[in-house]
């Protein structure tokens, strides 16, 4: 007989709503260079590697700050940490409009990137307002703020075309300031959600020695790191590969970014219902198929036939490419939610610290991947080499998952393949 669900406090829904809104705006700001980086690249004459570093710089700082932000959230509460974070980022975003040299953009991008750390604040903050059986859904709804990447692709090109690229950081700074006010009015604090005052920093970090944390970092490095990397890379990919206008390229790129953010909430529901392992396992296999097809470069070859030489072309047109990217975005939305369901199951008392280190791994993936995409493009001249790299990363995740979860479950005769502690049978 199933027990009745634990009631959710009314304030929890307000906290979830304003936190999700704040994270959406923060993610939109975090992905700003995906659009305005293109005119900046033309102005400064950057090569592909330099452009990759420019777009990835905010991702680096946003990733490195995630562990301390998660720990501070456990210790001081998400309301005050999120508010301070928003207040610090506003002036940096505004100053972006007045930068003139490459190092200016890199330096300001480091501060701007702190907006990406909002995830490690909101995840433990939101989760603790909900009962355990609803935490996957709550974190999935909050994580849907990733859709800020898609909002950026709609809003930034419109501002860029109408008023020039310098209008984008000014408008975004104003939005951040308004978000700070809305968040503060709608959020709340609960002392019961904080770790004991006598808990040391070292004790909070001790949980990171668990080998499961490293495995979850690997999963998240592809479903989130890959999402961020491609969100930053796709606009210029469409422009270069298919010769599209920047507005059309941004719209098509949003076909990946939007489902990759919004559908994370559904991934949370599926993870609560079917378990983190089942969802993640299928996410990796569908990703493997999509990336295999996306990796194939545009190819022309000539075959000698009895009627003479015939030339054939093999490659994805823009419609097939966009459809595969749309499917990949859906998969990674589910995967981002399922990885954090693992964390809430196994580390319910240390969500802040563990989500911080897992978020760091995903963010570092998002930082390194655009640079590697650019380096591979400079080295090989093949744009689809970006997907070849991601294909290899998915292989690593599948092999690791098989040996540590699927094979173990088979040996122990666990039919539902859910070896993580805390998941329902």
| CATH code linked to domain 11-193+203-411 | 1.20.1250.20
Q: With bands split at pLDDT 50, 70 and 90, how would you rate the model's confidence at 20?
A: very high
CA distance 159 to 365: 29
Residue 85 has pLDDT above 90, yes or no: yes
Confidence band for 52, pLDDT divided at 50, 70 and 90: confident
Q: What is the average pLDDT across 136-143?
A: 80
- pLDDT class for 1, splitting at 50, 70, 90? very low
Q: Confidence band (pLDDT; 50, 70, 90) for 309?
A: confident
Task: Tell the burial category of 413 from Cβ atoms under 10 Å away from its Cβ (0-12, 13-18, 19+).
Answer: exposed
Split at pLDDT 50, 70, 90, the class of 129 is confident
Indicate whether 83 pLDDT > 90.
yes
| Among 359, 362, 370, 360, residue whose Cα is nearest residue 56 | 370
Determine the average pLDDT of the residues in 75-94: 90
Please give the pLDDT value at position 53: 82
274 alpha carbon, distance to own chain's centre:
22
- Give residues with Cβ within 8 angstroms of 299, minimum separation 6: 313, 314, 315
Query: Is the per-residue pLDDT at 203 higher than 80?
Result: no
| Position 196 confidence tier, pLDDT thresholds 50, 70, 90 | low
pLDDT above 50 for 152? yes
Q: CA-CA distance, 136 to 265, in Å (whole number)?
A: 9
Dist. CA 86–CA 174, nearest whole Å: 11
- Percent of the chain exceeding pLDDT 90 equals 18
Domain ranges for the chain: 11-193+203-411
In residues, how long is the chain? 425
Once rounded to an integer, what is the mean pLDDT over residues 13-29? Answer: 91
Cα gap 12→9, rounded to integer Å = 5
Report pLDDT digits (tens) over 288-297.
999 999 998 8
Q: Supply the pLDDT for residue 156.
A: 85
What is the pLDDT averaged over residues 244-251? 84
Could you tell me whether strands 299-305 and 308-314 are parallel, antiparallel, or unpaired per DSSP bridges? antiparallel
Q: How far is CA 374 from CA 1, 50, 209, 313, in A?
A: 56, 8, 34, 25
Range with top average pLDDT, 28-37, 170-179, 254-263, 398-407: 170-179
pLDDT tens, position by position, 317-335: 899 999 999 999 999 989 9
- Report pTM: 0.70
* Mean pLDDT calculated for residue range 130-137: 77
- pLDDT-wise least confident of 58-67, 189-198, 322-331, 413-422: 413-422
Considering only 57-61, 196-200, 368-372, which range has the smallest mean pLDDT?
Answer: 196-200
pLDDT band at 202 (very low <50, low <70, confident <90, very high): low
Residue 208 pLDDT: 66
The pLDDT of residue 420: 42
Whether 387 shows a pLDDT value over 90: the answer reads yes
- Give tens-digit pLDDT for 170-194: 999 999 999 999 999 998 887 776 7
pLDDT of residue 143: 78
Q: What is the SS3 assignment for 310?
A: strand
Q: Does residue 147 or residue 104 have the better pLDDT?
A: 104
411: pLDDT strictly greater than 60? no
Q: What stretch of H or E contains 77?
A: none
> How many Å apart are CA 323 and CA 329, to the nearest integer?
10
């Amino acid at each position: 007989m199933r027990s009745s669900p634990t009631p959710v406090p009314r304030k929890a829904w307000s906290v979830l709503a304003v936190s999700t809104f704040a994270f959406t705006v923060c993610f939109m700001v975090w992905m700003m260079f995906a659009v305005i980086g293109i005119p900046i690249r033309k102005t400064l004459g950057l090569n592909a590697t330099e452009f990759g570093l420019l777009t990835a710089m905010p991702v680096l700082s946003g990733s490195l700050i995630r562990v301390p932000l998660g720990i501070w959230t456990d210790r001081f509460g998400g309301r005050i940490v999120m508010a301070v974070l928003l207040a610090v980022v506003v002036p940096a975003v505004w100053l972006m409009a007045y930068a003139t040299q490459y190092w200016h953009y890199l330096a300001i991008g480091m501060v701007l990137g702190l907006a990406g750390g909002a995830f490690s604040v909101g995840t433990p903050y939101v989760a603790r307002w909900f009962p355990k059986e609803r935490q996957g859904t709550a974190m999935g709804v909050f994580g849907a703020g990733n859709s800020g990447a898609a909002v950026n692709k709609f809003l930034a090109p419109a501002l860029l075309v109408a008023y020039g690229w310098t209008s984008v950081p000014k408008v975004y700074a104003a939005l951040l300031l308004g978000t700070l006010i809305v968040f503060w009015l709608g959020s709340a604090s609960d002392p019961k959600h904080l770790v004991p005052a006598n808990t040391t920093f070292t004790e909070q970090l001790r949980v990171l020695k668990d080998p499961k944390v490293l495995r979850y970092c690997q999963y998240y490095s592809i479903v989130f790191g890959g999402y961020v990397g491609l969100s930053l890379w796709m606009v210029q990919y469409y422009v270069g590969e298919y010769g599209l206008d920047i507005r059309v390229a941004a719209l098509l790129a949003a076909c990946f970014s939007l489902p990759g953010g919004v559908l994370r909430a559904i991934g949370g529901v599926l993870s609560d219902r079917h378990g983190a392992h089942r969802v993640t396992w299928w996410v990796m296999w569908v990703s493997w198929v999509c990336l295999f097809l996306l990796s194939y470069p545009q190819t022309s070859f000539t075959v000698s036939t009895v009627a003479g030489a015939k030339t054939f072309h093999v490659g994805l047109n823009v419609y097939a490419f966009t459809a595969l990217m749309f499917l990949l975005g859906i998969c990674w939305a589910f995967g981002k939610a399922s990885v954090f369901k693992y964390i809430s199951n196994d580390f319910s008392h240390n969500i802040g610290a563990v989500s911080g280190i897992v978020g760091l791994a995903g963010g570092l993936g998002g930082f390194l991947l655009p640079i590697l995409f650019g380096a591979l493009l400079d080295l090989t001249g093949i744009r689809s080499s970006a997907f070849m790299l991601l294909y290899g990363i998915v292989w690593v995740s599948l092999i690791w998952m098989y040996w540590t979860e699927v094979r173990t479950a088979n040996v122990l005769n666990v039919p539902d393949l859910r070896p993580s502690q805390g998941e329902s049978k």
